Amino acid sequence: MTAAGRGLTTSSLDALWDFGDPKGSEIRFRRFVQQLRGDARRDLYAEAITQLARSQALQRKFRTAHRTLETLVPALPKLPVRARARYFLERGRVFNSGGTPRKALPLFISAWRLARESGDDVLAVDAAHMVALVKSGADQMRWNERALDLAERSGNRRARRWRASLLNNIGWSQSDAGAYRQALRSFRRAVTLRQRQGVPNETRIARWCVAKTLRLMGRTKQALAMQQRLLRAYRRARSRDGYVFEELAECLLTLGRTREARGFFRRAHAELSKDPWLVGAEPKRLKRLRELGAGR
């Protein structure tokens, strides 16, 4: 191993991530890859390449991400099982984020199988949750529950930290099916876990899910009170959230407080229209926010 690469481990990769800054993460992964180039730790080099590709995909540089992953293809059969699992997982993510989930699905399933073979619960849970994102209906629920079951049984702390995210996904699957009471239980469990993890922003998001579900159940006044508390929490954190604005507006509109609702619809549109994914995926939703914010 080269002097530069000595002492580096797979956990070193996680320290390079800032998911809120994929461009900065890409720069750090490039430097990391340079440290490992020509090194004997081929498995670590391969995993670093997969994370470099992921940072590129998060910037929607999908062709670049695919080219980065292509560099691993000649060596793929000789790589350790864990490194191959990460390759399939990230290749699948690039396809999925790039709009071709059909190509992603078999890759995610391969990642799941390899991760289970290697005994890596963290990667296995991640892969199962990605399968669930591509699936729908009962299949989606089965894969989410499979991931949650593994996370709950795992002795790996990082795998167990997945539980709140998985409960969130399960809650939305239940909500989409109209099973609001079940969804509410899932979201409340997620709130409890987020509080234990000590992650304020994720806890606020989990509370938002509870509040939205209450509105969908017709418990509008209770939902409004929760969203108002969230609004104050974001202000204390010197932040704002377009989804909170949107839910405040929906609650107020339902309660007949149209004038108050209009201002929050306007603020929701201003914030959410900055999200490139939402602009591409839900143009009708944004149009509705704009029109209701304008009083139409």
For residue 9, what is the enclosing H or E element?
none
User: What are the CA-CA distances from residue 71 to residues 18, 41, 97, 133, 210 (Å)?
Assistant: 24, 16, 20, 27, 44
Q: What percent of the chain has pLDDT over 70?
A: 95
- Top pLDDT among 176 and 9 is at 176
Across 54-58, average pLDDT: 96
For residue 59, give both structure tokens: 């910037």
Predicted pLDDT of residue 3: 38
Average pLDDT for 149-167: 96
**Res. 102: pLDDT tops 90:** yes
pLDDT band at 5 (very low <50, low <70, confident <90, very high): very low
What pLDDT is stored for residue 1 in this prediction? 38
Contacts 24+ apart (CB under 8 A), 246-250: 246/272, 246/289, 247/208, 247/211, 247/212, 247/215, 247/223, 248/224, 249/289, 249/292, 250/215
**Mean pLDDT estimate for the chain:** 93
Percentage of the chain exceeding pLDDT 90? 88
| 217-270 confidence digits (pLDDT tens) | 999 999 999 999 999 999 999 999 999 999 999 999 999 999 999 999 999 999
Band of pLDDT at residue 38, cut at 50, 70 and 90: low
Contact 144, 133 (CB under 8 A): no
Relative orientation angle of helices 81-97 and 101-118, to the nearest 10 degrees? 160
Quote the pLDDT of residue 276: 83
More confident residue, 35 or 230: 230
Q: Quickly state the pLDDT bin for 35 (edges 50, 70, 90).
A: confident
Paired tokens of 288:
């509705």
Measured between alpha carbons, how far is 148 from 160 in angstroms, rounded to an integer?
9
Q: What is the mean pLDDT of residues 4-22?
A: 75
Would you say 24 and 17 are in contact if contact means Cβ atoms under 8 Å apart? no
Average the pLDDT over 262-280 and give the result.
Answer: 94
Q: How far apart are the first and last CA of the chain?
A: 66
Is residue 78 packed enough to be buried (19+ CB in 10 Å), middle (13-18) or exposed (0-12)? exposed
For residue 192, is pLDDT > 60?
yes
State the average pLDDT over residues 178-200: 97
Give the DSSP letter string of 72-93.
TGGGGGGS-HHHHHHHHHHHHH
Please name the residues in contact with 19: beta carbons below 8 A apart, sequence gap of 6 or more: 25, 58
Question: pLDDT band for position 104 (50/70/90)?
Answer: very high
Q: What is the pLDDT of residue 39?
A: 61
Confidence at 179, pLDDT banded by 50, 70, 90 = very high
7 or 211, greater pLDDT: 211
CB-based contacts of 175-181 (< 8 A; 24+ apart in sequence): 175/213, 175/216, 180/213, 180/216, 180/217, 181/217
List pLDDT tens digits, range 59-69. 999 999 999 99
